[in-house]
Amino acid sequence: MADEVSAPEEECKCEKGAPKWVVTFGDMMSLLLTFFVLLLSFSSTDVKKFKRMAGSVKEAFGVAKTSPDHTTPMGKKIIHSQIEIPKSMAQLATVRAKAAKTSKKSEVEMESGSNWFRLKIEGDALFDSGSWTIKPEADPILNQVATLVNDFDGTVKIEGHTDTDAAGSSRFVGEAYLANYELAMNRAISVMDFLVGNHSVDKIKLVPISFGEAKPRDSNASEEGRARNRRVEFEFRAGSKANINDSTGSRIEPQ
């Protein structure tokens, strides 16, 4: 009987190392881990809810109530702590918006900057020539100005300006520029007296100033230019505070 010859064994064709699907599975796990880490970084812990939940667990299982070591602040809190509008600027913006309505009158002009604004009122709308007595028809304009001053916590300057014509009556005879300084100051004080006496404006907030003919807006060579130079200006500036301890009466009469 012939010896049976056994067939040669087939060589194993298995690849060395981990199967290919393991690499794909690993990539998927890495992406999932990254996704959940991002979700965790975007979340924030509500401390009150956490404490209520921990207290319920303590009552049910007798475990100690704990609080989180760290909470991620919300974006709005970060913005609020880094960007904060000063109170004086916010108030100035509110008063300036109201002043813009007043400036729509033909006799009133408004000029503004980043932290201030001015109301410029034509002198002829408030006073007769050479006089510091306020005309009755000027009351509506000054009533609106008084509302603005009462709404503003800072100092308001009241500036008197004149043209180069000599004032009608003055103790400075022959000195036109000094007479105009006197007239401009008396007009500023008259306006201050009106605001304090008729609208209970805090006198500490008001600072009357005279510039006389020193700051013209236009040429004094023409009547139109002189009319523009005769004016009373009110300056509102954020952050300006009066620190004068004044014990004088509430009404001031020009000399």
The predicted pLDDT at position 243 comes to 46
Give the mean pLDDT of 235-245: 71
97 and 210, same domain (yes or no): yes
Q: Report how many domains make up the chain.
A: 2
pLDDT per position as a tens digit, 183-198: 999 999 999 999 999 9
Q: Are residues 75 and 91 in the same domain?
A: no
Judge whether residue 82 has pLDDT over 50: no
pLDDT digits (tens, 9 = 90+) for 126-152: 999 889 999 999 999 999 999 999 999
| Edge-to-edge strands, sheet with 116-122 | 108-112, 116-122, 231-237, 156-161, 206-212
Asked whether residue 211 is domain-assigned, the answer is yes
154-169 mean pLDDT: 88
Which CATH number characterizes residue 220's domain?
Answer: 3.30.1330.60
Encoded amino acid at 94, one letter: T
pLDDT single digits (tens) 195-230: 999 999 999 999 999 999 999 999 999 999 999 999
Q: What is the DSSP annotation of 97-141?
A: HHHHHHTTSTTEEEEE-SSEEEEEEEHHHHB-TT--SBPGGGHHH
Are 224 and 184 in contact by the 8 Å Cβ rule? The answer is no
Whether residue 11 lies inside any domain: the answer is: no
Task: Identify the pLDDT of residue 80.
Answer: 44
Domain residues for the domain of 75 are: 20-82
What pTM was estimated for this model as a whole?
A: 0.62
Q: Look at 63 and 130; give whichever has higher pLDDT.
A: 130
Statement to judge: residues 71 and 99 lie in one domain: no
